[in-house]
Amino acid sequence: MAAPACYTINLVNPNRIWQTDNVLKKELPILAFQVGFVVLISRLFFFIYRPLHLPRILSQLSVGFLLTPPLIGNYTEVFTFFFPITGVLNVEVLSHIGIIYYAFLSGLEMNLNVVLHVKKKAGSIAIAGIVFPMVMGPLLYNLHRRTYNKGDGVELEENAVHANVVWTLVLTVTGFPVIAHSLSELKLLYTGLGEAALTASMVSDTYAWVLFTLFVPISINGTRAIYSVLSTIIFIFICIFIVRPIIVKVIDGMTERDEWDDSNLLYVVMGLLVCSNITDMLGTQAVVGAFVYGLILPHGKFADKVVSISDDFGRGFLAPLFFSGTGMRLMVIALFYQDNMFLTFIVIILLCSIKVLGTIFAAFFFGMRTRDSFALGLILNTKGAIALIMLNIAWDRTILSVPTYVVLSSSVLLMTIVVSPIINVIYKPRKRFEQNKLKTIQKLRNDAELRILACVHNTRQATGIISLIELFNATRLSPLHVFGLHLVELTRSAAALVAAHMEKPSGQPGAQNLTQSQVEQEGINSTFESFGESYDAITVQTLNVVSAFETIHQDIYNSANEKHTSLIIIPFHKQLSSEGALETASVVYRDINMNVLQSAPCSVGIFVDRDIGSISKLNFCIRMIFVGGPDDREAIAVAWRMAGHPGINLSVVRMLLFDDAAAVDTSIQVESQGILAAVMDNEKQKELDDEYMNSFRLTAVNSDDSITYSEIDVHSAEDIPKILNEIDSYGCDLYIVGQGNCRNSQVFSDMLEWCDCSELGVIGDILGSNNSGSRSSVLVVQQYGYGGMVLGKQSNNVTTNDDGSKTLVVKSE
């Protein structure tokens, strides 16, 4: 059994508030040093673990584990330097305040609407992941008692019933915040697996708090705890049905009037301490009151303000003290100094597997694949703060002996450590995006469904892109399936933002005080839904992606793959101002676009919106400028599809290159395949251009009066801007051009170096420039399968097929 630690405290000033020595001179410097040490070393471990996508909580536990035997804990002088005995008590107090605040933020982030309206599949999987460990947990505990050391249970706990309760509860819980962060890091958050895991983990986490409230008091006080449980349930009902309506009304009113300041937020913290103190006095732990208090506060703008102000302090400084203290208690070395070490390790492995097995059985019932079921079981087996809180309570109350604590905590750590690396290997290997006919519009049959992923940041962009999609001539024989993807920047806790965007904002309490991203989400949902209701042949689905903008392109890739789209439409980073000029909305949007173009799993279109307007206008004019290459062939395929829409006039202008303009750019392939290969590839591309253009003229131009075709000779680089200005003088509503990849033209390669927006290509950059004087919108198209946009050195592997086309193999991490 663990021996209780006693502290000798000398009372110097018994009649004053601070009864010990001068706190500011003796206690505070030690405390500040300890906090700084824990935070600094945990950050160091975080960067070490980052390539493995391990959760932050493990880096904080590692700090404590570093201070245990046989590491720094073996050196008493070094250990007491970092954690002197006189400072341990202060750290314990501060760490418990930190975990109280952590529980409060967890409740504030919880989306009850998702839990209360959970679908049958997610709810059943979550319940199976709880019930199966509850059944198997006691059996494994008995196995542990019979196999540890000599198997007589002498070194283990005397009260096996209380220990059994804690043992089983720890095995059932799931850490929603940790899972949300891990899925975000692995870029699986918006796949089918990620969505199922996220919902099931939120439901499971809610059940875990319920089980914590009901059974932890019983594990401490036995049957006498029934009064604590009943009084706590009454307190929770009072909070939800009496206190919550009053608080929501007051807070929403203050939020509408923007009256929140630091002094007012202080009252929120005071309410947290009051609720924590009440449940602590009732005998069900202070964290329960903190979680309930966070749960009853209104979400939206208020919650966003509270979390943004206090998240760094609560989770960044206070919570690491608690988790590092948990790591100090992890005496793993004790496992190696007993007779049945091998059998103990088998018990640990069995503890890690029972929740996975329960999830697999439930997932099989709903028809999930074996790999997905196993991955889902691993993800839901991830433990978080609530499991560690239970373990700490069991340690403090000596419910668990040191060997049992070490076995159980080791299994919890193992469950959490192995998830991200294994998922990264078995579920998300380095995929190869191989050529697929359905991933380009050129190869898509006219009677096939066209699936489009429309990425937007705000409602204004959604309106413009919907006007563009409206041109695609959806019919019952050739329907459209549009996925509106709202891109939200991850600026704080992944769990908080993900939970806030898991459901429509209008369904949440305090909906009149939505955050800016929720306001945009509501507007985007409304815009896309209205669009879908206007057409029988168009199916619309809105999605949300919450991710760091530096890596959000990977979420876009995964969404496009998951939805089997043929075209991704992304908005240009500039938007039309009131003066009629294009102004930069956000430089970060351009970085996203550049990243998407590099390795997109289907064709991509960048839309420069100059108020394209509605298709309802008569004689809507589209002009397609064709130079050559796969992107231009994809662009004409897009224009050809739009030309079938009544009221649209399509004009195709082909630039024929002669003299200096016809010079072949051999620099791209001179290193790998040689100049001859570059020239031959250029000739093959010309043959493909002629073949496709002849098919277009024969099929479309000759049979439809609304489609015209013309050719213009280009002899030098100076001719291109002049020709474009001349074309623009005739006016049109929309230009469709290719991005220009694989044109193999020396003239265009040289001009590309001078472009302000190289992602638009040469033609698109000129038409999209304010200097051109054009008032027409522009759609720049890049065809999938030709290496994407080249930024610096191109590491993608391009192979030439028998038909002259190229297949790109892109490694996606």
- Whole-number pLDDT of residue 428: 55
- Whole-number pLDDT of residue 685: 83
pLDDT bucket at 679, cuts 50 / 70 / 90: low
The tens digit of pLDDT for each residue in 87-135 reads 677 788 888 888 888 888 888 877 666 777 778 888 888 899 899 999 9
Is the entire prediction scored with pTM above 0.85?
no
Tell me what the mean pLDDT of segment 247-254 comes to: 85
pLDDT reading at 230 higher than 70: yes
For residue 81, give both structure tokens: 């330097």
- The structure tokens 């309506």 sit at 245
How far apart (Å, rounded) are the C-alpha atoms in residues 60 and 62?
5
The dihedral over CA atoms of 527, 308, 388, 67, expressed in degrees to the nearest 10, equals 140
Mean pLDDT of the chain: 82
- Whole-number pLDDT of residue 440: 87
- Whole-number pLDDT of residue 667: 66
Q: Residue 601 to residues 380, 432, 439: CA-CA distances in angstroms? A: 29, 9, 7
pLDDT reading at 695 higher than 80: yes
pLDDT reading at 802 higher than 60: no
Crossing angle of helices 120-147 and 192-221, in 10° steps, is: 50
- Whole-number pLDDT of residue 14: 60
- Whole-number pLDDT of residue 792: 42
- Whole-number pLDDT of residue 429: 42
- Whole-number pLDDT of residue 765: 93
The tens digit of pLDDT for each residue in 311-343 reads 777 777 888 888 888 888 887 777 777 777 888
Q: What is the per-residue DSSP string for 602-645? A: SEEEEEE-S----TTSSSEEEEEEE-SSHHHHHHHHHHHHHHTS
Name which residue leads in pLDDT, 669 or 192: 192
How far apart (Å, rounded) are the C-alpha atoms in residues 778 and 606?
8
| AA letter at 764 | G
Around Cβ 367, how many Cβ atoms within 10 Å?
9
Tell me what the mean pLDDT of segment 601-608 comes to: 94
- Whole-number pLDDT of residue 461: 93
pLDDT bucket at 178, cuts 50 / 70 / 90: confident
Beta strands in 501-555 (DSSP E): 538-547
Share of the chain above pLDDT 90, in %: 24
How far apart (Å, rounded) are the C-alpha atoms in residues 510 and 78?
52
- What's the full length of the chain, in residues? 813
| Rg of the chain taking only CA atoms, in angstroms | 31
pLDDT reading at 738 higher than 90: yes
Q: Which of 213-222, 388-397, 774-783 has the lowest mean pLDDT?
A: 213-222
Tell me what the mean pLDDT of segment 241-251 comes to: 88
pLDDT reading at 303 higher than 50: yes
Contact of 130 with 207, CB cutoff 8 Å: yes
- Whole-number pLDDT of residue 153: 60
For residue 282, give both structure tokens: 């009732």
Share of the chain above pLDDT 70, in %: 85
Of 103, 69, 147, the C-alpha closest to 351 is 147
How far apart (Å, rounded) are the C-alpha atoms in residues 558 and 638?
23
Around Cβ 791, how many Cβ atoms within 10 Å?
12
